[in-house]
Amino acid sequence: MKISDITPDYIRAISPYVPGKPVSDIAREFGLDEAQIIKLASNENPLGPSPKVVAAITRAAGELTRYPDGSGYDLKAMLAARYRVSADQIVLGNGSNDILELVAHAFLRPGKSAVFAQHSFAVYTLATQAFGAAGIEVPAREYGHDLAAMRAAIRDDTSVAWLANPNNPTGTWLPAAEIKAFIASVPSNVLVVLDEAYNEYLLPEQQADTASWLAEYPHLILSRTFSKAYGLAALRIGYGLMHADVAAMLNRVRQPFNVNSLAQAAAIAALEDTDYVRRSYALNRQGMQQLEAGFRRLALTFIPSHGNFICVKVGNAAKMNLALLRRGVIVRPVGNYGMPEFLRVTIGTAKENERFLDALAAVLQE
Ligand SMILES: *Cc1c(COP(=O)(O)O)cnc(C)c1O
């Protein structure tokens, strides 16, 4: 017997999350200069941090010996005003990944199940498995969520439905009316976690006031992050909006100081810096067009995306990925998402996009 055998079977069965490789790893592995490598693998913001955020962190650094505010009072007050909810409807997380895990921790266990779509965010499977619940993967339709099939897949033992809109890694998106109809159709004892990590990249006419739905649907949880359009991926901060009763359950399993003080200060500054989010959005729109045009020139199929990334069909993506890595271009193969012919590419700066397209054209010739 190995000591690791004493862990439950459902923990041993987990396939670990495969993150995008850091630049330093690739430099070492392929003998490249870090300065020549571009990383378009983890849907990070190519703008770099907002100077206002950097200033806020510098100020907060004077208080490093103190524990952070475990209630996140100031940040919650800002979010409450913005979404017109009360502070007790907000749970802050160490990344929105933390929110997803808190939901699983509080609401899933062996004997329960959770529903999610094929080609959806890996953390839904991971969080479900980590608490011993059964994952029900529902086949996608044209790479997007098949809401009718997801509704039909809900069983008596189902406690959670995970739903990303826009979805990662496919970039597909469903209109608010369809999402709302799904929430209304789901039994009220099943939580719907609507993960809106890429919400800020939607066109204004695609945006919906989903927070206003909370009053009507106590089984709805909205998940948002500062990692993408706000450019704070390194700090790990996100939040959930939900009914106060649900928040009270998440807070029972939340680490008392799960969100550090630099992240809280940064998030407040980031919310105030509306110009940064506007620039993130604009750069993403331009970059998306640039990549789409490049793919058309190369006669490559892509999945139209509503996020800050796009999936392009390249045949043997694992092989293509390796060839790109040799040229110092890090993107994400998505074979582990059931899409072995696709690469997911994060929208970068105009220069990064161009370098990626040049490298792609070159490796297609190899
Ligand atoms: C990136 C992403 C998140 C955000 O993760 P953080 O933990 O907040 O960095 C959440 N959901 C989806 C679908 C994502 O792609």
Amino acid 268: pLDDT? 98
Query: 129 CB under 6 A from ligand 1?
Result: no
- Token pair listed for 227: 């990692």
**Angstrom distance (rounded) from CA 226 to CA 270:** 8
**Which residue, judged by its Cα, is nearest atom 1 of ligand 1?**
197
Same-domain pairing of 309 and 265: no
Same-domain pairing of 33 and 62: no
Same-domain pairing of 27 and 75: no
Q: Got the DSSP string for 80-143?
A: HHHHT--GGGEEEESSHHHHHHHHHHHH--TT-EEEEETT--HHHHHHHHHTTPEEEEEPPBTT
Q: Which domain holds residue 189?
A: 51-272
The rounded Å distance from CA 11 to ligand 1 centre is: 22
Same-domain pairing of 255 and 310: no
Residue 96 CA, closest ligand 1 atom number: 8
- 155-189 per-position pLDDT tens digit: 999 999 999 999 999 999 999 999 999 999 999 99
Same-domain pairing of 124 and 233: yes
Query: 120 CB under 6 A from ligand 1?
Result: no
The rounded Å distance from CA 32 to ligand 1 centre is: 29
Query: 225 CB under 6 A from ligand 1?
Result: yes
Domain final position from 223, 256, 272 = 272
Amino acid 249: pLDDT? 98
Q: Which residues of the chain are under the pLDDT cut of 50?
A: none
Same-domain pairing of 156 and 65: yes
Amino acid 202: pLDDT? 98
The rounded Å distance from CA 122 to ligand 1 centre is: 10
Type of residue numbered 70: G
The rounded Å distance from CA 184 to ligand 1 centre is: 25
Same-domain pairing of 99 and 144: yes
The rounded Å distance from CA 83 to ligand 1 centre is: 20
- Token pair listed for 255: 């680490």
Q: What is the CATH number of the domain that holds 264?
A: 3.40.640.10
Residue 228 CA, closest ligand 1 atom number: 1
Domain final position from 252, 272, 292 = 272
Same-domain pairing of 228 and 315: no
Q: What is the CATH number of the domain that holds 32?
A: 3.90.1150.10
- Biggest CA–CA distance in the chain, Å, is 59
Same-domain pairing of 31 and 84: no
**Which residue, judged by its Cα, is nearest atom 2 of ligand 1?**
197
With beta carbons less than 8 A apart as the criterion, state whether 179 and 211 touch: no
Count of domains forming the chain? 2
Same-domain pairing of 187 and 246: yes
Question: Counting runs of H as helices and runs of E as strands, what totals does the chain give?
Answer: 13, 13
Q: What is the mean pLDDT of the chain?
A: 97
**Angstrom distance (rounded) from CA 113 to CA 129:** 9
- 329-356 per-position pLDDT tens digit: 999 999 999 999 999 999 999 999 999 9
Domain final position from 272, 303, 337 = 272
Same-domain pairing of 246 and 342: no
The rounded Å distance from CA 108 to ligand 1 centre is: 20
Same-domain pairing of 135 and 22: no
